[in-house]
Amino acid sequence: MLVLFLYSFFENGLGSSSVAYCSCSAFDSHSLSVFILEKIWASCICFSDSFLAPVSGEMKILAEALILVFLCIFLGSEHRICHAFSSNYNARTKCLIEPEAAQDGGGTIDNPDFTHGMDGWTVYGQGAMKEDISRNGNRFTVAYNRTQSLDSISQKVQLRRGLIYSFSAWIQINKGSERVAVVFKIPRTELIIGGRVLARKGCWSLLKGGIFANFTSHAGILFESKNTATEIWVDSVSLQSFTLEQWRAQQEKKIDKERKSKVRFKVTYGNGTAMDSAAVSLEQTRSEFPFGCGMNFHIIDSKDYQNWFASRFKYTTFTNQMKWYSNEPKQGQENYTVADTMVKFAQQNGISIRGHNILWDDPKYQPEWVKNLTSDELRKAAEKRVDSVVSRYSGELIAWDVINENLHFSFFEDKLGKEASSKYFKRAYELDPGTTMFLNEFSTIEYSNDEDVDPISYMKKLDEILSYPGNQGILAGIGLEGHFGVGQPNLAYMRSVLDILSSTGLPIWLTEVDVVKEPNQAEYLEQILREVYCHHAVQGIIMFAGPATAGFNATTLVDKDFKNTASGDVVDKLIDEWRTKPTETKSDGEGCFEMSLFHGYHLNLKLSGAFPVFVWSEWQAKCCKSTENNGIAIFQRHMICLARPQKDNYEGGILVNPDFRRGIEGWTVFGNGAMREGVSKEGNMFIVAYNRSQPSDSISQKVQIQQTNLYSFSAWVQISEGSETVDAMFKTTHGEWIRGGSVIAKNGCWSLLKGGMAAHLSGPVEIFFVRHAGVLEVRKSKVRFQVAYANGTALSGAAVSIKQTRSGFPFGCGMNHNILTSNAYQKWFASRFKHTTFTNEMKWYSTENERGHENYTIADAMLSFAKKNGIAVRGHNILWDNPKMQPQWVKNLSPRELRIAATRRTDSVVRRYSGKLIAWDVMNENMHFSFYEDKLGRTASSEYYLRAYQLDPRTKMFLNEYNTIEYSKEILASPVNYVKKIKEILSYPGIKGILLGIGVQGHFSSGPPNLVYMRSALDILGSTGLPIWLTEVDVQKGPNQAQYLESILREGYSHPAVQGIIIFAGPEVAGFSATTLTDKDFKNTPSGNVVDKLIAEWKTRTLKVIADGKGFAEASLFKGDYNLIVEHPATNLLTRLRFKDAPPKKKNSPFPLYPLWNLKVAKHEDSTWIILWVKMWRLDEAKGHCREENKKLVRKKFEDRGHSFE
């Protein structure tokens, strides 16, 4: 039962005036959304003490400590940045009707905005210049009658050695669109390009760039357009000089703004009183920003290299080991041994990997056998390569460099057509949709003179790829290699390039940073790393550097003895500098303390002091995880439970009847169940949701929201028993569920649930509540026995021993053909699991590898083993919608031939195993793929569900999909789309009555699982009322694999809609390489220990309870089968029974109670009814207690009630 009172849903419009220093931004691959917190909280400095009202009645002064954390510590997402840009970081790609004023007042430029006509400006080359004035009175200069590309206006400036010059100007042309560059003409030196812009007719574009002066000389500033027929219009010119020290100071300021946040904490007692002089120590455990290093094959055999790398870096790119020429040096002979070994090392040490690369467009770097292939041969070979490498590492990497350096080179385009790159991006995306796909190029930020890869060319190529049909959903990224040559890097030009590329809204990574050997290498490396780290759009850096022993000759970080070089010292210094140091401080008189923290995943916080009864354990700060909650920021953890709820915030805001003074007006039931009014002893009115069968069954109200507005939400919540998490949810018209806050609600007092949402759309949303029961409530029941003689007389003092013989929850494991030949595998499996899925042996390509030659030998033998050992089997699968996973002979069948073959396959496998299995995965992964729909029509899946149902009507038919619970950005198989697919199948003619089930595979990466998203996904799927199974759970190898596996299994097991879990894991000798439970000697791995621990934990241990004076005994039992022994020493009574603890078959219809000879079953107060199915009972005949009359009596009482005794 869920009790709620005093709602508030308050709307805040977003406007620039409301931006405070506590603003935070959520940055994803396609957009930049700013969440404004100011209007939710009255102050960004400290929570108001009035927020924590005193608890009524007596309380110990030091009963509870509460830390309220606000502002934004951006934790756990590489996409989070602060909303603040200095003028030097504004790169406008939009064209403005009027130009903005010159930056820095023009700096060293004379007459920068032409308010004094053309003073200070001359003509360079041929042509002419003139003044012009816009309709709004803005003055600018026009270069016209041009005959050479450099014919333009010019101004001489004095450059000083060692200074950085930042340049900007607003440019327009008189027709079309053309590149315009700023050029610095130095006497006796080549022309130096300072930056470019794509200028247009009719509006002004910002040209940004700069130059580093390694000389002292005057220089002419010119403008270049290769189309001499165009006029170049110029306005608001600026050239500002900086010393290296000034530039460094600006970098530090940007780092403080972009990579750190000011956080203010308040420490209070439970009654809200500030805790003065509380000693606080804080430590960062992991940096958010990916700063990594390249790795090569030498790491496999070098412990020194392994230790050096793992102690510093958590991100890497393999320099060559994933490239085509490394994996397939001879045609048809693929070898991933080295790459696999490196992946294993990385995962074991928690190191994330960028995939480098799928294909390389440079003709020199193809495998030798590829270079002379015909176009058709190349197309087939390249497609095979893409499928091979991407499928092999799908879900294991954080990025793919898809077509390497395809602005400089065009090997595949020249042979396969200009859309070749776009097609391979599409294919990689189809195979690994959750991974970011990068362009990867050199010279984009390193050199200003390379027009092929300047920001304009880069963005044009990017647009070409993303506009290709089918590529709109790609998670795209910008990869800039960063191979720097001799000499001072042009930091101003670098910054301008990053500014321009950041306008795409895509993540930028520096992917291969190195600096050639020279006396100033370490100094230049530090400048480059600081410049990119301080830029808001850069979301990761990988250096192509390392130990001398591993062959890193350009940028060597350690010598052969693993002692740092000067460049190595720079890297270690920055790793240390870019993380929060362990800090100790004390709260002030108001209980507040403030820190400036680098963004990171966890901040371990310890609180201590000279308090007589106060003990504080380690606490992990997690705040403002907006990307993890679909745009929701949960701002506080309120731990006070009040006897009376407080007045609603903002008088309810936009909610109707927020305090229920008008009964239930404005409120409806969400899902099943019912609602009623309630009144406390003090006259307080509230509403109660009861008779709930799903976690989301509650009350609801629809409200209208406006896109970009921020909504603050609050409600006081109580539950009828125990304590459980209650979430506020918002359901959109698209079926999306957005979590808007949570609280641990309790029985007997009111808890404040606070949160909100940032609206990403306009329209109605439905507010409702989800109560998440704990494991004990979901999987256990209270059972009360009464031991009595047949005449009903209670037998006090009887001992009831209870032993569970089989779990009621199906927790099983995948099984493969290796079990048929391994006694050790058989014993290991049968001693643990009673449910299984064959990983491949029932699939079509396993049972009919050649057309017309069916072979079920292996599947039959495995089924025989399972039956012999009491193991229930899920049928996996009838058909698979993935084109790659068809038998080879099926792939090229005509539609008519395919229909006949697929129908024959369905009939064959389902008839063979009809009635022998507990489930069928009918059409595997038919939301990600559509092999049958594409060939047979859009109802193909539904047709085969109908056919399977007709052949095996009593077996559950499952959809089975991946990424539904694993990946929050999933689109194709999102929970909402999954529900749509269910409705589509159930609406197909003739399918009514099918026992349908929801299969979610659960293939998790090596990173932390998003349990919040997983729970919300299960909530949405659970709202269908259909049984959910986690069908193929595994976790990729990594240092925290066992921990993450346990978290996932516990989350699934605790959800009431989940009715079974199968893990796709097992012994090493059986080839389970992702999640291995035992080694080759069948000794547990850490993941194996987790599984064994949970099997034991989720089972009632043998226990004995003593009947009281009325013959009653009580126990809390997991669902399952039990042996029960009733003994009484005084009467020599010994009774053995078996029963099943299971929920009632029908809601609100408890099973009748039977006076079963000397055992009665009673309903315990406040518990659900328990059915005790009598399977077998007998007495010790030697004692004379087994009488046939008793058996007849029991049989008669069953049959009198219309039930079969058997």
Tell me if 8 sits within 8 A of 653, measured CB to CB: yes
**405, 841, 970, 1051: which one is catalytic?**
405
Tell me if 29 sits within 8 A of 475, measured CB to CB: yes
Tell me if 1061 sits within 8 A of 810, measured CB to CB: yes
Give the separation between CA 534 and CA 792, rounded to whole angstroms. 82
Q: Give me the numbers of helices (H) and strands (E) for the chain, helices first please.
A: 23, 62
The reply to whether 405 belongs to the active site is yes
Tell me if 1053 sits within 8 A of 1045, measured CB to CB: no
The reply to whether 441 belongs to the active site is no
Q: Is the dihedral of CA 777, 780, 781, 784 positive or negative?
A: negative
**258, 328, 396, 512: which one is catalytic?**
512
> What is the helix (H) or strand (E) element at residue 4, kind and residue range?
strand 2-12
Give the separation between CA 490 and CA 977, rounded to whole angstroms. 49
Virtual CA dihedral for 135, 136, 138, 140, nearest 10 degrees? Answer: -20
DSSP 54: P
* Residue ranges of E strands in 962-1108: 996-1000, 1003-1004, 1028-1035, 1058-1063, 1066-1067, 1076-1078, 1103-1106
How distant, in Å, are the alpha carbons of 45, 1154, 1199 from that of 1193? 77, 11, 10
- The amino acid that residue 184 corresponds to is F
Tell me if 689 sits within 8 A of 699, measured CB to CB: yes
DSSP 96: B
Give CA angle at 1161 (1159, 1167), nearest 5°.
Answer: 155
Structure tokens at 395: 């879900």
Give the separation between CA 172 and CA 207, rounded to whole angstroms. 10
Contacts (Cβ under 8 Å, ≥6 apart) of 2: 688, 689, 690, 692, 698, 699, 717, 719, 720, 726, 745, 769, 771
Contacts (Cβ under 8 Å, ≥6 apart) of 215: 159, 161, 186, 189
Structure tokens at 390: 């991407």
Q: What is the 3-state secondary structure (H, E, C) of 951-974?
A: HCCCCEEEEEECCCCCCCCCCCCC
Alpha helices in 746-805 (DSSP H): 775-779
Give the separation between CA 1196 and CA 1204, rounded to whole angstroms. 10
Structure tokens at 96: 């403005």
* Bridge partners of residue 143, in order along the sequence: 129, 232
Tell me if 143 sits within 8 A of 129, measured CB to CB: yes
Straight-line distance from the first to the last Cα atom of the chain, in angstroms, rounded to the nearest whole number: 37
Tell me if 796 sits within 8 A of 1108, measured CB to CB: yes
Structure tokens at 118: 């053309």
- The amino acid that residue 1143 corresponds to is P
Give the separation between CA 802 and CA 1127, rounded to whole angstroms. 11
Q: With 0-12 CB in 10 A as exposed, 13-18 as middle and 19+ as buried, what is 741?
A: buried
- The amino acid that residue 327 corresponds to is N
Q: How long a stretch of residues is the chain?
A: 1206
- Within a 13 Å sphere around the CA of 230, how many CA atoms are in the beta-carbon half? 23
Helix axes 566-577, 521-533, angle to 10 degrees: 20
* Bridge partners of residue 439, in order along the sequence: 478
Show which residues are catalytic: 405, 512
